[in-house]
Amino acid sequence: MLLHPVSSTTAIRGRLAPTPSGYLHLGNAVNFVLTWLLVRRAGGTLHLRIDDLDRTRLRPAYLANIFQTLEWLGLDYDTGPRNPADFEQHYSQLHYLADYQQILKKLRQQPGLLYACTCSRTDILAVAPDGRYPGTCRHRHIPLDTPGAAWRIRLPDDLVVTFTDGWQGTMVINLGRDMGDFVVRKKDGYPAYQIGSVADDLRLGTTLIVRGADLLPSTAAQLWLAQQLPETAGFTAARIQFLHHPLLPGPDGQKLSKSQQQPLERGVQAQAQGPQVVFRAVALLLGLPTEASLSLEQLRQGCVESHW
């Protein structure tokens, strides 16, 4: 593990950024606890930012589960919604659609940067004949105003993004190979995740982002995307510290995913006997002794004593 300590010379502002698209699983809870430990150790502030641009998958039960899981884990935060009603009224990403659309408008003005795509998911997952990553559309010449079309970024050939990660060390991401021409506006006209995430972290003044290692390509995509406009150019690895932690596999050995949940699954809170299962997973990731997983306070103390 190459975990670099979070600097205490700058104001640390971290965030928890769940999506209400399923019940929170063990991996989500571990990410929450890791973020909380890092921010609290640095004496920083923690914001709850819920990403709800994917309106087709949002369910009231999923939104409520976010607050229930935070209470179950015993995690406090400094700013952000206190309950589902507060979130909908004051913090939903729907309140910031005009900001996201302004970014999309500016991107559209960059010659050749965007193209329209009407492909289905099946089409996109098919290997393109030119050998590019399967996330790349084969048809790049239809007008951007085509009804029902998503907007994709036209990535330069062999684009490589390099940044330093606090857990993984120096990362060299071949964005064309690892992600392909990613979506910035969905077929329903809503801004995509990469746009909302960059805009929100800039608005919130985020200086620490803790993510799973599967999101390394997304981080690279956001860093590159942000540099295409002066309005978003402040989203850099020089100003924001990134830590991408290892993923926790499910019982089948595969990555935990809300999209793969079975109908009767209700997330880690309903499945576990107590939050100690989460604390134990965090202690294991950090190389802490087993007794550190008995409670959140002991986990926090274990981090202090180990100089983590």
Strand partners, 21: none
> Collapsing DSSP states into helix, strand and coil, what is residue 211?
strand
Asked if pLDDT for residue 10 goes beyond 60, the answer is yes
Angstrom distance (rounded) from CA 209 to CA 35: 8
Residue whose structure tokens are 């390509």: 217
* pLDDT tens, residue by residue, 31-88: 999 999 999 999 999 999 999 999 999 999 999 999 999 999 999 999 999 999 999 9
Contact between 32 and 75 under an 8 Å Cβ cutoff? The reply is yes
Q: Count Cβ neighbours within 10 Å for each residue of 203-236 and write b for 16 or more, e otherwise.
A: ebebbbbbbbeebbbbbbbbbbbbeebeebeebe
Contact between 190 and 206 under an 8 Å Cβ cutoff? The reply is no
Query: 22: Cβ–Cβ under 8 A, 6 or more apart, which residues?
Result: 57, 62, 258, 259, 261, 267
* pLDDT tens, residue by residue, 186-244: 999 999 999 999 999 999 999 999 999 999 999 999 999 999 999 999 999 999 999 99
Contact between 292 and 279 under an 8 Å Cβ cutoff? The reply is yes
Strand partners, 212: 245
Asked if pLDDT for residue 162 goes beyond 60, the answer is yes
pLDDT for 75:
98
C-alpha neighbours within 13 Å on the C-beta side of residue 266: 10
